[in-house]
Amino acid sequence: MTLFDKIVFLILTPISVISVIAFLIKVLFNQFLNKDLEKYRIELTRSLEDYKNHLEIDRIRFQSKFSITQERKANVISDFYTKLSRLYRFSKQLIATFQPGGQELLPKKQLVLDALNDFWSYYEDHKIYFDHELRSNIENIFDRAHTAFLTFHLSQPDDGYSPDESGQWRESWRIIKDEVPPLMNDLEMKFKHILGLSE
C-alpha cells in the first residue's frame, strides 16, 4: 500500500463511518419523528372531532333555546294582539256615536274597563319581549284608548246613553275612530315583521 493509499484510507474510513453513523441517526430520528408525528396527528384528529361534537351540541342547544324563545315570543304577541283587538272592539261598541235605544251603559263600560286592565296587566307582565319602539307604540295605544274611555265616561256618567252637549262623546269617538287604528296598523306590521310574516 502506498502512502497515497494509506492517506486516502485514513481519511475515507472515518468519513465513511461517520457518514454511516449519521445516516443511521437520521433514519432513527426520522422514525422517531414520524412515530411522534403520527401520534400527534391522531391526538389532533381526536381533539378536532371532540371540538366538532361540542360545537354541534352547543349549536343544538342554542337552536333549541332560540326556538323556544321565538315560540314564546310568538305566543306573547298572539295573546297580546288578541287583548288589543278585544279592547278596540269593546271601545268601539261603547263609544260609537250611533247607539240603539234602551241599552244599558254600565255593562259596556265594565267590558271596556276590564279590557283596559287586562291589556295593561298583560303588557306589564310581558313587556320584556318588546323592544323600546314597540313599548312606546303599545303605551301610546293604551293612552289613547284610556283617554277615549275617560272622555266618554265624563260625557256619559249615568246608567244609560244621554245626549252630550259638551262634545266629549264626539271627541272620544274621534280618538277611537281616527287615532287608534293607524297606531294598531303600525303595531300589527311590526308584529308581522317579528314573526316573519312581513308582506
Average pLDDT over residues 145-169: 88
Determine phi and psi for 103, rounding to 5 degrees.
-85, 145
pLDDT, tens digit (0-9, with 9 covering 90-100), for 15-36? 777 877 888 888 777 777 777 7
Q: Whole-model pTM above 0.75?
A: no
The end-to-end CA distance of the chain, in Å, is 104
State the chain's maximal CA–CA distance in angstroms. 145
Give 102's pLDDT tier (boundaries 50, 70, 90): low
Q: 20: burial class by Cβ within 10 Å (0-12, 13-18, 19+)?
A: exposed
* Mean pLDDT, range 100-116, rounded to an integer: 86
CA nearest 76: which of 68, 65, 87? 68
Buried b (16+ CB within 10 A) or exposed e, 139-157: eebbebbbebbebbbebbe
Looking at this protein, which amino acid is placed at residue 135?
A: R
- Asked if the 74-195 domain carries CATH number 1.10.10, the reply is no
Question: Does residue 125 surpass a pLDDT of 90?
Answer: yes
What confidence score (pLDDT) does residue 26 get? 82
The larger pLDDT score, comparing residue 123 to residue 157, is at 123
C-beta of residue 145 within 8 angstroms of C-beta of residue 181: no
